[in-house]
Structure 1
Amino acid sequence: MPRVSEEHRAARRQQIVEAARRCFLREGFHRTSMQDVIAEAGLSVGAVYRYFPSKTDLINAIAEQAIGGAGRVLTELTRQDPPVPLLAVLDRVLAYVETQLADDGALRIAIQVWGEAQRDPALAAFVAETYAGFREHFTGLVRRAQRSGDLPADADPEATGAALFGLVPGWFIQRLLTGVPDRATYLTGVAALLRATPRPV
C-alpha cells in the first residue's frame, strides 16, 4: 500500500480546518459538534479524528494560522534596523489584523474563543500562552524604541508593552461590533494621546 505523502496530509488537514472554520462562523463554536465538522468536510469519522481528536484541537489550529501571520509581522518589526517608531509598529500590526476582519476571518472566531475559554481550562491555557507571547513581542519593541530614543528611558517596558498590545484588540473589537473606526482614524487618535501632556492627579 503506498504511503501517504506529506503534501496529502497537509492538504487533508487544511480541508478539515477550513470545514471547521465554516461551521464555527455559521453556528458558533459552542453549538458546533465534531459531527458537524465531519459532515462539512465530507470525510469519514476516522479521517477527521486522526488529525483532530477534539474541537479544541481544531480551534487551536485555526488560531495558530492567524497567530503565525501576526507573529511573522512582529518578528520582522523586531529585526528592522533602525527600529521602527512605535506608532508605525501599531500601524503595521493593525494592517495585518485588518486582513482577518472579513466575515470569514479568524477574528470573528477569536471572539467566540474568548468566551469559551472562560469554561474550558485547556482552551484558557492556550489563549493565555498565545497572548502572553504577543505581549512579550511588544515589550521587546518598546525596549528597542527606548534604545533608539523614540521612548523615554525611564518608561517601564513591560507596562508600556502591555498598553501598546492592548490597543490592538481595542481597535478590532470596535471594528467587529460597530464597523468603525477605520485604521487611519484610530491611529490619529492614538497619536494625539501620545502627544498629550500628563497632569498631576
Structure 2
Amino acid sequence: MARTKRSGYREKIIQTASRLIIDKGIADTSLADIARETGISKGTLYYYYPSKGELIFDISERHMRHITEKIFAWIEESRQGLQPEELLKVVFRTIISSETRGHIHVYLIQDALTGNPSLKQRFVQEYGHWTHLIEEGLRKINDNQEDYSSLARIILPLIDGLLVQHLLGVRGDSLDAITRYLTAARLQPQ
C-alpha cells in the first residue's frame, strides 16, 4: 500500500510538473508552483524530488522512454508488411501528433541547450540510441544489412524539425513529399 501511494504521488508530481512546464516553461516553473498545483506540501515534494533538476530528469527520462517506445513500435510495424512510404508517414505522424509530449520535448531541448549539462548529456546518449534504432528499422524494412546510418541521421533531426513546425502551426502538407523522397533515398544505402 505504501509503495502504491508513493508511486501515485510521484506520478501526480510528474504530471503536474509536465503541465506547468508546458504552460510556463522550465525556468519559470518552481518546485513551490508544482507543490501548490499538485496539492501537496513543499516538504512532501522535496521528499520525492530534492531538486528541480532531479524532477526534470525524471520527466526527461519518461519522455525519452516514450519516444523510444514509438521507435520500437515502428520497427515492429515494419515487420507487418506496411509499404515503406506509409510506414514513414505513420512514424512521423505518431511522433509529431502528441502536442503535450512535443511541447515537453522542445522545452527539454531548450533547457539542455541553455545550461543543463546533465540533460544535454542525456539527449546526446538518447539521440545515439534513437539513430541506431532507426537504422535497425530501415534494415528490417529493406530486409538487408546495408549501412543506413546517413539516412538515419537525416530522419532523426527531421522528426525534431517536423515536431517544431507542427507546434508552430506550420501546415504539414509536405509530409507526403518528404516520405516519398526518403523512400527513394532508402534504395541507395550509404
TM-score > 0.5, shorter chain as reference: yes
- 1:180 maps to which residue? 170
Post-superposition Cα deviations, 1:36-87, rounded to whole Å, max 9, x if no partner, equal 2122222122321222222222223223333333322322332353565443
Q: 1:71 to 1:84 in 2, by over 3 A?
A: farther
Q: CA RMSD in A?
A: 2.4
Q: 1:107 to 1:136 in 2, by over 3 A?
A: same
- 2:150 maps to which residue? 159
The one-letter amino acid of 2:108's match is V
Is the counterpart of residue 94 in structure 1 residue 85 in structure 2?
no
Post-superposition Cα deviations, 1:109-163, rounded to whole Å, max 9, x if no partner, equal 2222222212111111122122222111101112223425xxxx76x32111111
Paired with 1:63 and 1:86, the residues of 2 have a C-alpha distance of 30
How far residue 16 of structure 1 moved from its aligned partner, in angstroms, is 0.6
TM-score, scaled relative to structure 1: 0.77
The structure with the largest alpha-carbon Rg is: 1
Is the counterpart of residue 116 in structure 1 residue 114 in structure 2?
no
Is the counterpart of residue 65 in structure 1 residue 53 in structure 2?
no
- 2:177 maps to which residue? 189
TM-score, scaled relative to structure 2: 0.81
The one-letter amino acid of 2:45's match is V
Higher share in helix: 2
The ranges of structure 1 where at least 4 consecutive aligned residues each deviate by more than 4 angstroms after the TM superposition are: 82-85
Q: 1:176 to 1:77 in 2, by over 3 A?
A: closer
Is the counterpart of residue 31 in structure 1 residue 28 in structure 2?
yes
